[in-house]
Amino acid sequence: MKPTNGHAVANLIDRNTVLAEARLLLSKEVFSHEDASRCSRLMDLSDRLPGGTTAPDGEMAEFRAALRTVHIGGRWQVRDMTVGSPGSGGYFVPVGFREFLAEALKAYDRLFDEDVVTLYQTERGAQTQLPILDDTASSAQIISEAAQTIIEDPSPGAQQVTLSPASTWRSGLIRTSIELLQDSAFDPAAFLARSCGIRIARGVGGSLAQTLLAGAMQGAVAVGSSGNTGGAETGGTSIGTDDLFSLVGSLNPAYLSGPKVRWAMNWTTLLGLWKLKDKQGRPILRPQFNDAGEPMLLGFPVAVCPSLPAVAANATPICFGNLAYFVLRTVPQATTLKPITEKWAEYGQVGWQTYWRGNGALTCAQGADSPVKFLQCASS
């Protein structure tokens, strides 16, 4: 048998102690907000200790059982419904809920997906600086023997982009009946994460899309699909294949490498491109998907972002570029789930509200070519 490391054993014992205390709290006859907050922190701590990976069938099963017991059995004793700080015990943050919520967010809008953008998690939501460097024009050189190395500073040089203080978004109240919680087939954790996630994604996604477009540069102006179809479409009402190629061609080739080079558009725009036909009525851009299930267009994956505008005069419906330069900053500790147990008690209902905090920025040096370009529809 392999010798056991004494420090690892101590950590394992500590984790067992932490979980034991959490179970004792869950078994209390009167389970207060303070107990819920303490229990959540203990289980979160156990997750970070060795052997403490989040297990939906383990810790999350315990959370689901606690939800039902609290609201069906009436064990929850609300001491202060106006507490506004997680540290004061006003919120119940179940272990694993953040992961459920994150999955719901990126399923709705790919600007929340760490496989598409760069995820930057911070402990606090204060203003912060991100260093950036544009060096797309510099190249290596052959230097003669005993000659001095040429100093070639990046242009416009190393800079910083400022991430403003992260905004706090609220999902709005979601009510459920006691009967729904009593349904053994009902998964409250997944239901709340999905419902709150879609609401937050709609609100935050619109803000992220605006931030992306504000930081990107115009790559091309649409001429429309009349060259494909032989019809009378204009660049203000349609997008043709030449427009897509023009947008790709506008991007600096230095940004075309990496796994996060993508298109970004909403579903309506993508479907419109797939429906594009030639003069004989044959589809030009047939639907294709990669091994990850992502739609493909001209050999590049498409990130579906519902908040990007549809095709219309002067709209900017399509982005293309290296989305690794788009930073999504989140504050995981600020993601909270607040139960409201008394407001609708006489109706046999309980309420929930999720708080999410974060923002984004396109890290592009001032005066430099942008790593993301957008297609501008014509004025008419």
- Nearest 5°: CA angle at 145, between 141 and 150? 40
Share of the chain above pLDDT 70, in %: 68
Contact (Cβ atoms closer than 8 angstroms) between residue 215 and residue 361: yes
Please tell me the chain's helix, strand, coil percentages from 3-state DSSP, rounded to the nearest 5: 35, 25, 40
Task: List, for residues 274-312, the tens digit of each pLDDT value.
Answer: 999 999 999 999 999 999 999 999 999 999 999 999 999
Task: Please determine, for residue 348, whether its predicted confidence score (pLDDT) is greater than 90.
Answer: no
Beta-carbon contacts of residue 64 (< 8 Å; ≥ 6 apart): 187, 188, 189
Amino acid identity of residue 33, one-letter, is H
Residue 2 has pLDDT above 60, yes or no: no
Residue 131's pLDDT is 78
Helix (H) or strand (E) holding 13: helix 6-26
Write out pLDDT tens, residues 110-164: 999 999 999 999 989 999 888 776 656 566 667 777 676 665 555 554 577 888 9
Question: Tokens for 234?
Answer: 């204009």
| Spatial separation of the C-alpha atoms in residues 69 and 27, rounded to whole Å | 10
Alpha carbons 247 and 375: distance in angstroms, whole number = 6
Among 18-32, 197-211, 334-348, 359-373, the least confident range: 18-32
- Which residue in 355, 308, 330, 333 sits closest to 205, CA to CA? 308
Tell me the per-residue pLDDT of 231-280, one tens digit each, with 9 for 90 and over: 999 999 999 999 999 999 999 998 998 999 999 999 999 999 999 999 99
Tell me which of 192 and 70 has the higher pLDDT: 192
* Cα distance from N-terminal residue to C-terminal residue, the chain: 76
Distance (Å, rounded) from C-alpha 254 to C-alpha 263? 16
Residue holding tokens 């019809």?
A: 231
β-strand 300-304 against 261-265: which pairing, if any? parallel
Res 322: pLDDT? 96
The conformation of residue 98, written as its DSSP 8-state character, comes to H
Note whether 132 and 363 are within 8 A (CB). yes
Q: What is the domain partition of the chain in residue ranges?
A: 13-95, 216-323+370-376
CA dist., res. 68 & res. 323, Å (int): 42
Mean model confidence pLDDT for the chain:
79
Q: What is the pLDDT of residue 280?
A: 94
| Predicted pLDDT of residue 313 | 96
Mean pLDDT of 349-376: 89
pTM equals 0.72
pLDDT of 138 reads 60
Give Cα separations from 188 to 28, 41, 47, 182, 357 (angstroms).
Answer: 21, 20, 21, 10, 22
Q: What is the mean pLDDT of residues 47-59?
A: 53
Whole-angstrom distance, CA of residue 96 vs CA of residue 24: 20
Helix or strand holding residue 269 (H, E): helix 267-274
